Structures are given as C-alpha cells and as structure tokens.
Structure 1
Amino acid sequence: MSVEPDSPMEGTPLIKPSSVDHELHEAVVDACRSVYDPEIPVNIFDLGLIYTIEISDENDVKIIMTLTAPGCPVAGEMPGWVVDAISVVPGVRHVDVDLVWEPQWGMDMMSDEARLELGFM
C-alpha cells in the first residue's frame, strides 16, 4: 500500500499544535478574539477558524487559519485583519497568516461560548 506524497502520515494530527507555552500566546489569542467574521457575531478564535498559533523564539507569529467556507466574502481581507490585530501586540516581531481549507471547518470546532452565543446550546 502506498501513501500519497501530500497526505499526512497516519497518526499525524490534521491541525498542527500551537505554541501554548510561549509567553506571548495569550496576548496573541486575545488579539485573534478581537477579529470578527462580519456575518457572524462571534470572534474568529471562538468560531474555531484559528487552527494554529505558532510563535518562534524570535517572537515571529505564524497563524494557520481557515474560513467558514471557501466562498466567504471576506476571504481576501480576513488574513490581513488578523495580521493587523496581532502586529500591535507588544513583543511580536512579525506576523504571517496562512489560509488553509484542510481540514474543512465545521460547527464542531466552535467553542462552547460561540455555540451559546449563536443559540446552538
């Protein structure tokens, strides 16, 4: 049995873990929570659109995120909003945002707070 070269190896997480132990992690999460999808009254972090927050030892931040759907009207703008929000966090040197479509976003990725706000709980 061969493995497709672009497919992850079995057991590899679909979403790369975040740098939760970095001293800037909470401030970056708070910055992500300041960005809202204009069609949904919940911030993008609690919606589950932020897959990974990776922070280097040099305080460079890489965000891997998605949108609720590929046809989202703000697809071209949302990554810039995230860069703008995180760039002003004291200590952050550089921000890079990668927009991905795999794994596909689903309502199960929302936080309990988001589900409650949207009436799903």
Structure 2
Amino acid sequence: MREAVTTTRAVRAECVPDGRVAELPAGTQVQITQALGGSFTLWVHGQLMRLRGADADAIGKPVPAAPTAAAGGGIEAVREQVWQVLRTCYDPEIPVDIVELGLVYGCELEPMDEGGFRVQVTMTLTAPGCGMGEAIADDACDKLLVLPDVGEATVDVVFDPPWDRSMMSEAAALALGL
C-alpha cells in the first residue's frame, strides 16, 4: 500500500538500483512504497529511491530513536543487540531484512582497550552486480556505530561463497512467496 507525501525540505536520497545520490527539493511529491528498518523506499517520478531514517522528518515521519546501551553490557548482550540492528537493514527492493535473507555470513566482536567493542560483519548480496550493495553495507555500518557499546564497526561485502536462495530463512522464503 502506497502513501503519498510531499517533502517538507530538500533532502538527499539514493536511486535504486544504482545507488547514485539525488537531491529532492522541498515540495516534491513522492509515494512511500516501503517503510522498514527505519528507512523508506520512495517512488519519485518513476524512480525508486531510498531515504535514510535520519531524514524521515523530510517526509513527515518520525526519526528513529537512538538505541540504548545493551542490558548487562557484556559481550553476549552486545552481540544480541548487534544482530537486532542487522535485522533492521533492508535492500530497498526486498521487504525482508538482510539476516533473514541469509546475506550476513558472520559477525565478530572484539573488546577494545578504551572500552566498547569492535564489530566486524561479513555479508554478501543477492547478486554481485547489485547497485545498492554499498548503500546496504553503509546502512548496516552506520546503524552499528550508533550503538553505545560499539566503538568501531566494519561491514565487508564478499562473494565467496556466492549467495543462493537456500540461504534464506523459511520465514523469508514465505514472505517472498518462494
């Protein structure tokens, strides 16, 4: 179901599927086609675009609240919070998060001397030529860096092993009608 809205201020969005940045002036008519994980997929004059959650106010939506520190603060509590954050990252064309799609291959946490944790995520894409790959990885990294217990975060995109449908969770396959 689409929702028609008008931008209230100038805002940058990423074109789907190539990831190039476009400026939307205030007063631009858009349709929200997907609102998942704090970001929005917009239909703008025949073009899909991804709007970051930090810019949600530009379309009259609330900006997502900043996360709080993990309960207990230990490595396992932080690990769970990291996985929860990764479940808020979406390809703007697919209404299933990157964890359920089976795109996240690994997540390592390492304590830092100055406190907090260094997070290293290894992920892939559904197709090597995906133009939104960098945007999806950057979204995951940006969201991880907002966590109070994360001091550093890196998201590496790899293509070995190559992704295939068998890596999706059963819930993801059902959601996509596969």
Q: Secondary structure at the match of 2:174?
A: helix
Output the amino acid matched with 1:116.
L
Task: Tell me, in whole angstroms, the C-alpha distance in 1 between the residues paired with 2:175 and 2:148.
Answer: 30
Corresponding residue of 1:7: none
Q: Structure 1 residue 23: deviation in Å?
A: 2.5
| Higher Rg of the two aligned structures | 2
Q: Tell me the alpha carbon deviations over residues 66-114 of structure 1, each in whole angstroms, 9 at most, x when there is no partner.
A: 0001111202222111101111122111101111000000111111211
Corresponding residue of 1:10: none
Corresponding residue of 1:3: none
Corresponding residue of 1:90: 148
Query: Is 1:115 aligned to 2:115, yes or no?
Result: no
Corresponding residue of 1:67: 125
Task: Tell me, in whole angstroms, the C-alpha distance in 1 between the residues paired with 2:165 and 2:136.
Answer: 19
TM-score (norm 1): 0.77
Count of paired positions: 100
2:108 to 44, 54, 75: 54
Task: Tell me, in whole angstroms, the C-alpha distance in 1 between the residues paired with 2:83 and 2:134.
Answer: 21
Higher relative contact order (CA 8 A, sep 6+): 1
TM-score (norm 2): 0.54
Gaps (5+ residues) in structure 2? Answer: 1-74
Q: Which has the higher strand share?
A: 2
Task: Tell me, in whole angstroms, the C-alpha distance in 2 between the residues paired with 1:107 and 1:47.
Answer: 8
Q: Tell me the alpha carbon deviations over residues 41-72 of structure 1, each in whole angstroms, 9 at most, x when there is no partner.
A: 10111101111010002210000000001111
Gaps (5+ residues) in structure 1? Answer: 1-20
Q: Secondary structure at the match of 1:45?
A: coil
User: What RMSD, in angstroms, separates the aligned Cα atoms of the two structures?
Assistant: 1.2
Q: Secondary structure at the match of 1:72?
A: coil
Q: Check the 8 A contact 1:22/1:55 in 2, yes or no.
A: no
1:27 to 81, 84, 88: 81
> After TM superposition, where is structure 1 displaced by more than 2 Å over at least 4 residues in a row?
none
